[in-house]
Chains A and B, each alone.
Chain A
């Protein structure tokens, strides 16, 4: 399941799934459940995750490997220019020409960047290999167009593509770098004018729809050949794309969080993008956040409760998780103010624990003492502190407020009903007047349906 080129988020999640499943194995066996059940669970889990952030995985695949590997038969040796011309991709932003290295012995191959915008013209006689390894031999010149489900990201991605070759070829290989904001680190060893062929070249290409690839006519596979190195430096990061470079360079994000605030975030170290259904990502976030051992125990309980429910297997686990924590939280006795005098309006939910009894006993004792005096206290205090007319004024004022439904409805009701969430720990949260600054750590952000994992995040907002 862990492909070589899955993004860090996918890797993280998959490794978590692995950990959990493995650690459950014994428990499952102890309980007498078959291994198969555990495997089923695992597959279900992975499937759901894949489904919700499936794009991310695929995209990662494509980002790190080419959509196409063009393999030319040796006979193409003399048609360098021709081939180059014909393979020029009419990208909207970039025009990349791919010179073919032609040795008579080796079959020339190179990879097309995934960031190119379709349609792509493929000359005849070329063998295409998709990232998944499928080989298509093109007998007639074809034009590959992108599937309608193509993402807008692609056309907006700018990137530099370097073609690494075994022997330098002076012909037209200039790759016009069109970088709007050059990122922190360029691949240091590949300046624009020099060529290198790394022994194991990583082809890093921003994502493209892999599905669009099998447009060329299906044909029997030809024999593969050496891969020519095509190395692309990390693409420029646009605001919403956050392509992750193979070297995991730090990325700058800028996004709008809640409607009224501007959020600038800088994420370093582990981060990547994926698409997740928000609820699912919450599950995963919970898993991330809770200690895995705790979660395992609860999973065990959940399994005991609902062994047959394959479908929602993860949910009862998490439900228990959440319930458990909520109960824990509500047990904490509030210690500010006159202890626990909240009368009937706020009920302490959930089971009480022994530790809390002491506090409660005191509170109750005080409550009992003060109950008789409570209401009269309020009256006497208020009447003594204010002028005489206050009692009348009170009577007058109370009513409008209680009956005054028009006194005020929240102006901005569902500010929190957003799908963009960050679950993390904080280092420091600071506020000056209405300017907020956040120093966050160890978290997962779900933004625009994608998950970003970070170990440090800095943000600013205005209220």
Chain B
């Protein structure tokens, strides 16, 4: 998705988090003992299973709820989730793939210019917050689309939102604001 300028900004999706349910109780011990590439965390009450093909890590609870992280696209997340369910099915559980939902998408984007954070914060007073002692980035929350943009002085930004579309929209929205507060040349 481009900004209003002519240049194209590369929005790179780094992480997609999704949850789904298998609609049946899972015996974590069985999964831990018989599954491939699993890490059992009895203190947390979950099993981590890592898949290679869509590179994802899934946290599996005994209730049948599964959180799938590490995918690079929404489709990847779905594919990974289904594969995971398939693995569980092969382990002997009567799984039913249901309630798949992408919960969070994290993307990074790099502006071709540096940003003066203080100016940026001042211009966008209530929506942006900047606490340099806590975190070196200014946080810009877009409430109506529920996206959060973190702006770094180097010009890199990270965007998190409930889905990829939201993220793209957020970048578009924030670009002009950043453009205003840019520092002369990108270092």
Contacts and interface: CB of A to CB of B under 8 A. Distances in A.
B28 interface: yes
A336 B45 contact: yes
Nearest to A336: B45
B86 A345 contact: no
B36 A410 contact: yes
A332 B42 CA distance: 13
A223 interface: no
Contacts of A394: 96, 98-99
A346 to B, nearest CB: 5
* Majority SS at the chain A contact face: loop
Nearest to A334: B29
Interface in B14-39: 21, 23-30, 36-37, 39
Contact of B42 (A336, A386, A401, A404): A336
A337 B94 contact: no
Interface size of B as a range = 35 or more
Contacts of B50: 463
Given A342-B25, A411-B52, A463-B50, A337 B45 contact: yes
Given A345-B92, A397-B97, A401-B97, A337 B82 contact: no
A408 B28 contact: no
B122 to A, nearest CB: 39
Contacts of B87: 408, 410
A351 interface: no
B175 interface: no
Interface in B24-83: 24-30, 36-37, 39, 42, 45, 50, 52-53, 61-63, 82-83
Contacts of B98: 382, 390, 394, 397-398
A407 B94 CA distance: 16
B85 interface: yes
Given A346-B30, A346-B92, A410-B36, A398 B83 contact: no
A337 B52 contact: no
Contact of A431 (B39, B90, B96, B100): B39
A369 interface: no
Interface in A439-463: 463
A261 to B, nearest CB: 12
A246 to B, nearest CB: 43
A401 B92 CA distance: 14
Contacts of B28: 334, 336-337
A408 B86 contact: yes
A397 B29 CA distance: 27
A382 B25 contact: no
Contacts of A32: none
A418 interface: no
B89 interface: yes
* Closest 4 A/B residue pairs (Cβ): A337-B62, A408-B83, A401-B97, A336-B45
Given A398-B98, A410-B90, A415-B36, 16 more contacts: A336-B62, A337-B45, A342-B25, A345-B92, A345-B94, A390-B99, A394-B96, A397-B98, A398-B97, A401-B82, A401-B96, A402-B96, A404-B82, A407-B86, A408-B87, A431-B39
